[in-house]
Amino acid sequence: MARKIPEINAGSMADIAFLLLIFWLVTTTMDTDTGIVRRLPPPPDPNTKPPDIKERNVFNVLVNKNDRLMVEGRVGDIRTLRAETKEFLSNPANKEDLPEKRLENIPGLGQFQVSKGIISLKNDRGTSYDMYIQVQNELTAAINELRDELSKQKFGVKFSDLSDKSAIDAIQKAIPVSISEAEPENIGGK
């Protein structure tokens, strides 16, 4: 006698599959890599002389092997670095010893005083990476804050919230990331 086998209830199959799905979603770490983006300069050409830059246009930041800072010839502090960098790059009072500006016509902003200032960052071989990143971070923060201020003034929103491509370009042109990393030297030893 052929007895009918009762059908297995497949109603909970969906729940099991959902559990699998959720397990997968939880376990895969979508580790989005974050970081500070920089552009390295091309290797120096031995035939061309480095361009002459006036002393007032250079902001010297040195980090030694004990992670101590020297900013513009004085002992510096990481906590004041951001404010100092901002003052250097914006030069609001048009001081004699802070960088010159050149008038540039930027589409979207009109005539704008672009600072000629360059931040020169020099580190020792013995500097810790953590300190180096902190300094880079403060310098980047200074530039970002200046960009935010300009963007708020001109477009009414923060730089990071700008969506218009031409507006972003204009701000980037008005306040460029002018961080130069000096050719490495071995001063303090390893």
Report the C-alpha gap between 160 and 147 in whole angstroms: 9
Beta-bridge partners for 180: 120
Q: Is residue 20 part of the contact set for another protein (CB under 8 A)?
A: yes
At CB < 8 A and 24+ separation, what contacts does 145-150 make?
A: 145/82, 145/86, 146/86, 146/89, 146/90, 146/175, 147/171, 147/172, 147/175, 150/174, 150/175
CA dihedral 47, 39, 149, 95 (to 10 degrees): -30
Q: Is residue 133 part of the contact set for another protein (CB under 8 A)?
A: yes
Q: Which of residues 146-185 bind another protein (CB under 8 A)?
A: 181, 184
Q: Is residue 141 part of the contact set for another protein (CB under 8 A)?
A: yes
Query: Residue 160: exposed, middle, or buried by beta-carbon count in 10 A (0-12, 13-18, 19+)?
Result: exposed
For another protein, the binding residue among 60, 113, 144, 180 (CB under 8 A) is 144
Task: Read off the DSSP letter of residue 46.
Answer: T
* Contact track, another protein, 34-53, x by CB under 8 A: xxxxxxxxxx----------
CB of 36 to another protein, least distance (A): 5
CB of 103 to another protein, least distance (A): 29
Residue nearer to another protein on the CB measure, 128 or 172: 128
CB of 149 to another protein, least distance (A): 15
Residue nearer to another protein on the CB measure, 37 or 103: 37
Instruction: Please report, for residues 113, 167, 188, the alpha-carbon distance to residue 100 in angstroms, rounded to integers and kept in the order given.
Output: 9, 24, 33
Q: Is residue 134 part of the contact set for another protein (CB under 8 A)?
A: yes
Paired tokens of 81: 């670095």
CA dihedral 182, 184, 189, 190 (to 10 degrees): 110
Residue nearer to another protein on the CB measure, 112 or 139: 139
Q: Is residue 6 part of the contact set for another protein (CB under 8 A)?
A: no
Q: Which of residues 70-129 bind another protein (CB under 8 A)?
A: 78-79, 123-129
Which residues would be at the binding site for another protein (CB under 8 A)?
A: 10-11, 13-14, 16-18, 20-21, 24-25, 28, 30-43, 78-79, 123-130, 132-134, 136-137, 140-141, 144, 181, 184, 186, 190
